[in-house]
């Protein structure tokens, strides 16, 4: 049995033993997303889903090279965090032509980076637009410039740099959903508040339980064994990050 087929069996087991599953494909998963078409109880949140009065908006990967849309390490301002933030906001304005760009020469950023950012943010805006429901953003890639997107691997040439999504960060600023579930950066597990949103990166092959009650969001570690299986049921061996939201009775994964 292939690894993708094992993954499908895992999701089917979660549906039977825990709850319906919502997911977004990770950067290793995008070639196999058709395998889940028609699987009962499994929902690709890229299409947005409303469940028990909570709107789930997903942003998965359509390429292996995920991460920040604008490769700032190739630009003259790498390493200066304050300047990076200022210039990225300028490029945000450029992408949507909402105001004149100040600071760097716009040509310093490749057009495909701007287009990737524009596409992602438009997708998230469409998901959250004109809705009164509480919101949950499920993204494989974490929001940019947070504790959840810092690369800590000692041998990585990107060590110490932020490698999250600028589009996700700006969506949090605009809509302040109740919860953001993310993954991708294996060594950046944590729970932080970002622009009014509780953001969770459970970490590599780990799980957390999240309780959403109105505007209140509480998180706790899901007990697990050294074999990577939660003691209360859901196996996590093949799941990079997963969260069981108890108030909505929904099992979420950002890379399953």
The answer to whether residues 202 and 227 belong to one domain is: yes
CB 120 within 8 A of CB 141: no
Shared domain check, 59 and 85: no
pLDDT at 14 over 80: yes
Q: 183-210 pLDDT, tens per residue?
A: 877 777 789 999 889 999 888 877 888 8
Residue pLDDT, tens place only, 94-121:
655 554 444 445 455 567 777 888 889 9
86 and 49 assigned to the same domain: no
Residue 44 Cα distances to 37, 59, 78, 178, 202, angstroms = 9, 10, 36, 20, 20
Residues 135, 79 share a domain: no
Q: Does residue 196 sit in the same domain as residue 80?
A: no
Q: Are 57 and 95 within one domain?
A: no
Report which DSSP code applies to 13. Answer: H
| 99 and 196 inside one domain | no
Expressed as residue numbers, the domain containing 79 is: 72-109
- The answer on 124 and 91 residing in a single domain is no
Q: 214 pLDDT exceeds 80?
A: no
Question: CATH no. for residue 42?
Answer: 3.60.21
Residue 162 sits in the same domain as residue 224 = yes
Entry field: residues in the chain:
256
Q: Same domain, yes or no, for 99 and 126?
A: no
Q: pTM for this one?
A: 0.74
Name the residue among 207, 210, 199 with its Cα closest to residue 241.
207
Looking at the structure, do residues 155 and 248 belong to the same domain, yes or no? yes
Task: Let me know whether 26 and 138 are in one domain.
Answer: yes
Residue 239's alpha-carbon distances to 44, 57, 112, 192, 230, in angstroms, are 15, 20, 30, 21, 12
| Total domains present in the chain | 2
First-last CA distance in the chain: 17
């Amino acid at each position: 049995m292939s690894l993708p087929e094992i993954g499908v069996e895992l999701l089917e087991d979660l549906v039977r033993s825990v709850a319906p599953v919502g997911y977004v494909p990770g950067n290793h998963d995008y070639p196999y997303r058709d395998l889940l078409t028609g699987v009962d109880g499994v929902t690709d949140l890229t299409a947005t889903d409303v469940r028990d009065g909570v709107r789930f908006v997903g942003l998965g990967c359509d390429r292996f090279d995920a991460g920040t849309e604008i490769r700032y390490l190739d630009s003259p301002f790498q390493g200066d965090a304050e300047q990076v933030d200022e210039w990225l906001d300028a490029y945000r304005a450029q992408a949507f032509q909402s105001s004149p760009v100040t600071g760097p020469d716009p040509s310093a950023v490749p057009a495909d980076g701007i287009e990737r950012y524009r596409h992602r943010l438009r997708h998230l805006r469409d998901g959250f637009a004109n809705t009164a429901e509480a919101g949950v953003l499920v993204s494989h890639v974490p929001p940019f410039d947070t504790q959840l997107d810092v690369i800590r691997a000692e041998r990585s040439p990107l060590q110490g740099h932020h490698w999250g999504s600028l589009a996700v960060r700006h969506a949090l600023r605009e809509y302040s959903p109740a919860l953001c579930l993310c993954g991708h950066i294996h060594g950046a597990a944590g729970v932080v508040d970002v622009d009014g949103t509780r953001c969770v990166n459970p970490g590599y092959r780990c799980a957390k339980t999240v309780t959403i009650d109105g505007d209140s969001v509480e998180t706790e570690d899901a007990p697990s064994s050294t074999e990577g299986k939660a003691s209360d049921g859901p196996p996590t061996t093949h799941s990079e990050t997963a969260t069981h939201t108890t108030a909505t009775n929904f099992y979420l994964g950002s890379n399953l």
